[in-house]
Amino acid sequence: MTDKRLLSGKTVLVTGAAKRLGRAIALAAAAAGANVAITYRTSAREARALVAELANHDVEALAIRCDVTDEKNVSEMIKEVASELGAIDVLVNNAAIYETIDFEKITVAEWDDIFATNTRGPFLVSREALPYLKKRRGRIVNMGSLGGLRPWASHAHYCSSKAALHMLTQAMAKSLAPDIAVNTVAPGMIDLGEKSATAFMKKMAKQTPMLRNGTAADVAAAVMFFAAAPHFITGQIMLVDGGLGL
């Protein structure tokens, strides 16, 4: 059972949260007593369904459409969250693109898109949220990746975008201290039950010291840790990978 008091009175904003890991993080925040704002880009139906589920936890919830690559869109979204929910205490930069492409086939457009979403997106959303986060001595949690620390041959652009996000976490932690704590949760192999990935997931579980793949609950628990951790903990990259990266 989650402690309802952990984030009670706080407001948590999770980008790209209509589905998958973002959804699990939003639900964990609501279960911990936080009011929750989620953003979506294309998954409007899933976002509406999630808002109803979040509200079952007796917290305020809202969903806003936002493309994190669009500066004006991001600025308007942050203002709307702050005016609707009154504050922003925790920002989770979750929205991202993941693609498998051989190095020689990556186009300039694909390279630029992944950086605009995975690296510039968290920068933009954080920058716009700063005044609100500062007021509340808030926290930023970026969603990094094991791929930002270990090279994956068919994901050069993705790995580079996440490595840059890890460095952005550390640079922001230093420049935003002492007002805001900034940390990263870097998931490894997470099993979200996709049928097409069953054989691959089985293989990866065998290679993982903990002998299983991660779950959405494992990742959400790590995000909740940073959301409520002592403010003194900042600039950290926490792998959630069962030891796969060791």
Residues that bind ligand NAP (CB under 6 A): 16, 18-22, 40-43, 66-69, 94-98, 117, 143, 145, 187, 190
E strands, the chain, where? 11-14, 35-40, 61-65, 90-93, 139-143, 181-187, 237-240
Q: Give whichever of 33 and 122 is closer to ligand NAP, judged by the CB atom.
A: 122
For the CB of residue 119, give the shortest distance to ligand NAP in the complex, in Å.
11
Phi and psi angles of residue 107, each rounded to the nearest 5 degrees, phi first: -85, 165
Report, in Å, the least distance between residue 8 CB and ligand NAP: 25
Catalytic residue among 40, 98, 132, 158: 158
By C-alpha distance, which of 192, 168, 196 is closest to 182?
168
**Residue indicated by tokens 């308007």:** 76
Question: Which residue reads 């890991």 in tokens?
Answer: 21
55 vs 97 by CB, closer to ligand NAP:
97
Active site residue 158: yes
CA gap 33, 98 in Å, rounded: 31
In order of 65, 83, 110, 116, 143, the CA distances from 39 in angstroms are 6, 15, 23, 17, 15
47 or 59: CB nearest ligand NAP: 47
Judged by beta carbon, residue 33 or residue 188, the one nearer ligand NAP is: 188
For ligand NAP, the closer CB: 1 or 112 = 112
The residue with its CB nearest to ligand NAP is 16
Work out how close the CB of 216 gets to ligand NAP at its nearest, in angstroms, rounded to a whole number: 8
For the chain, what percentages of helix, strand and coil (3-state, to nearest 5) are there? 50, 15, 35
For residue 136, the minimal CB distance to ligand NAP (Å) is: 23
Shortest reach from residue 5's CB to ligand NAP, in Å:
27
**Closest by CA position to 22, among listed 7, 12, 35:** 12
Q: Is 5 exposed, middle or buried (0-12, 13-18, 19+ CB in 10 A)?
A: exposed
**Residues classed as catalytic:** 158
